[in-house]
Amino acid sequence: MRHTLSVLVENKPGALMRISSMFARRGFNIESLSVGPTERHDVSRITLRVDCEQHPLEQIEKQMHKLVNVLRVSELESGEAVERELALMKVTATPARRGELIALSQAFNARVADLGADAIVFEIVGDPEEIDSFEELVRPHGLKELVRTGRIGLGRATLNPKPNRRQHVLT
């Protein structure tokens, strides 16, 4: 089962390396990872996507908690979080097919970021599953290159950030 973890870390040299090293040495697999600044200049947020069962997930959370630079680990549970991703897709588009592709992109609120003689670069921001769908639709046209940022997420506006409840039980 897939889980999204939101991790607040001190913005210190090596913080990301300590986390990724912990994943590697304990044999946990990261599906996607994105890092960026937060509302505090000295704190970064790492959004991690992992595919694992409940027991390894608890281990991941607890092992991350032990890292000195890690301030908070919480799971973004589906339905309780807003998750977004950005993708850029370079798609083969001869002048004859352009119109069709652009019409398709409009249905997904994708944007033409660049246009060449025989290709278009689309930009799409959305729910990662929407991006999957758009990717599938443009693929038959000739998907030359693709890049995705990995998902980022925040708890819903009505929710306050909370540490994972399991930590309360244990400490």
Partner 1 sequence: MTMNGADAVLRSLEAEGVDVAFGLPGGAILPIYDAFARGTSIRHVLARHEQGAGHMAEGFARASGRTGVALATSGPGATNLVTPIADAWMDSTPLVCVTGQVRSHLIGTDAFQECDITGITIPIVKHSWLVQDVEQIPHVMKAAFHVASTGRCGPVLVDIPRDVQEAQLDFEYPESVDLPGWKPPQKGHPRQIARAAQALAAAERPVLYVGGGTLNADACEELRTLAEVGRFPVVTTLMGKAAFPETHELHYGWPGMHGPKWSNWAMNKCDLLVAVGARFDDRVTGKLAAFAPGATVIHLDIDSAEISKLRQADIPVVGPLKQVLSDLADELRALHGTGHTPRTEPWLRQLTAWREEFPLRYRRSEETLKPQFVLETLQELTAGRDDVVWTTGVGQHQMWAMQYLLCNTPRSFITSGGLGTMGYGVPAAIGAKAARPDATIVCVDGDGCFQMTQQELATSVLEGLPIVVVIVNNGYLGMVRQWQDMFFDERQSQIHLTKHLPDYAKLAEAYGGVGFTVDNEGDLEGVLEEALTCGRTAVVDARVDAAEQCFPMIPAGAAALDLVEFPDEVDEQETVAAA
Do residues 99 and 106 make contact, with C-beta atoms less than 8 angstroms apart? Answer: no
Query: Which residue lies nearer to partner 1 by CB, 22 or 119?
Result: 22
Q: How far apart are CA 10 and CA 103, in angstroms?
A: 44
The residue among 83, 58, 52 whose CA lies nearest residue 73 is 58
Of 42 and 51, the one with the shorter C-beta distance to partner 1 is 42
List own/partner pairs for 91-95 with CB under 8 A and 24 or more apart. Answer: 91/119, 91/120, 91/121, 91/122, 91/138, 91/141, 91/142, 91/143, 91/144, 92/118, 92/119, 92/141, 92/142, 92/143, 92/144, 93/118, 93/119, 93/120, 93/141, 94/118
Least distance in angstroms from the C-beta of 69 to partner 1: 5
Q: Confirm if 43 and 65 have CB atoms less than 8 A apart.
A: no
Provide, rounded to whole angstroms, the least separation between the CB of residue 146 and partner 1.
32
Give min distance, CB of 122 to partner 1, in A. 38
Question: Please, which residue, 17 or 157, has the CB nearer to partner 1?
Answer: 17
Residues that bind partner 1 in the complex, under the rule CB under 8 A: 9-10, 13-14, 17-18, 21-22, 25, 55, 58-59, 62-63, 65-71, 167, 170-171
Write down the least CB distance from residue 166 to partner 1, Å. 9
Of the pair 10, 123, the CB lying nearest partner 1 is at: 10
Closer to partner 1 at the Cβ: 18 or 98?
Answer: 18
Tell me the β-bridge partners of 86.
Answer: 125
- Least Å distance, CB 159 to partner 1, is 22
